[in-house]
Amino acid sequence: MKHLFAAALMAASLMTASLMTALPALAQDKLSVMLDWFVNPDHAPLVVAQEKGFFKDAGLDVTLTAPADPNDPPKLVAAGKTDLAVSYQPQLILHVAEGLPLVRVGTLVSTPLNSVVVLRDGPVKTLKDLKGRKIGFSIAGFEDALLGAMLEKHGLSLKDVELVNVNFSLSPSLLSGQVDAVVGAFRNFELNQMEIEKHPGRAFYPEEEGVPPYDELILVAQKGKTDDPRFKRFLAAVERATLYILNHPEEAQAAFVKDRPELNDELNRRAWADTLPRFAHSPAALDAERYTRFAEFLKARGLIKTVAPVDQYAVVVK
């Protein structure tokens, strides 16, 4: 009798296992995210969340895509072509002033990365030494406004320097002697690149030279869609990944380069280490006063006409 019961029990177990195998996996909600640039250590929380299965655990099937044109991501979000995009706090405020329906829903990098860079062994020791010199830039508008504020602290103005559009060739234009300084250089990349090439640089930091601190990398969504339930789960997974990176930097870096061997080089390893302390520990959190302060700075520099209420362009996802 016991043998018959055991046989029946085994048959039932096999049938249950077979049925479970035949059942489809629970469907995951698709979510598209457009990066601001090609994949690099600035995007580590997103990539690690994907590689470690944190998005999957949150019931999300996330697609990370690099843009063909770095100007496109916010526009694609505004047009409803992608769910989220990586952007920048200064650009968000400018885009909203232009009428784009965008809202910040999260933060990736919570400190400025932008800086003014010169050669360490060159003639520029202080910002005051930039008088009469050439300064390269990539993006007109915000970068020259930022530079103008930094110069004013040292008794100079944009009229005292010559601005040269070097597109995105920042460190090469500096190393070649085309310009004496560059603005818009990310301190976690350009400084490391110059060090590797045996031409070390010196950085001047906007937040130490009269520019209010701001979030360098943020996540934006289309206005009117911030109640999308996927966003809260997405940000929770990004927070989980950020903490994993802080607690297990070597394992996280291994996951980051697993399918991207081109990122496992000296420059990206150095950038990884320099970027780690700058990730937002709570990606969903919002400092509204900080956003207002920076918007007031942009107004004072003539880049926007009015300072809009923060809740019109930056929210905490519920």
DSSP string for residues in 170-206: HHHHHHTTS-SEEEEEETTTHHHHHHHTT--EEEE-G
Of 287, 129, 268, nearest to 188 by C-alpha is: 268
Strands annotated E in 17-96: 29-34, 60-65, 84-87
Report pLDDT for 6: 41
pLDDT band at 62 (very low <50, low <70, confident <90, very high): very high
Residue indicated by tokens 């629970």: 26
Report pLDDT for 3: 42
Report pLDDT for 26: 55
Tell me what the mean pLDDT of segment 53-78 comes to. 96
pLDDT band at 19 (very low <50, low <70, confident <90, very high): very low
Distance CA(129)–CA(109), nearest Å, equals 31
Report pLDDT for 195: 96
Of 219, 275, 215, 285, nearest to 245 by C-alpha is: 275
Report pLDDT for 140: 76
As a residue count, the chain comes to: 318
Whether the per-residue pLDDT at 151 is higher than 90: the answer is: yes
Report pLDDT for 70: 86
Tell me what the mean pLDDT of segment 107-125 comes to. 97
Tell me what the mean pLDDT of segment 158-184 comes to. 93
Distance CA(93)–CA(91), nearest Å, equals 5
Q: What is the mean pLDDT of the chain?
A: 91
How many CB atoms are located within 10 Å of the residue 160 CB?
A: 14
Percent of the chain clearing pLDDT 90 (strictly above) = 86
Angle (CA) 179-181-182 rounded to 5° is 100
Whether the per-residue pLDDT at 95 is higher than 90: the answer is: yes
Q: 15-24, 175-184, 187-196: which has the minimum mean pLDDT?
A: 15-24
Tell me what the mean pLDDT of segment 65-74 comes to. 92
**How many Å is the Cα radius of gyration of the chain?**
24
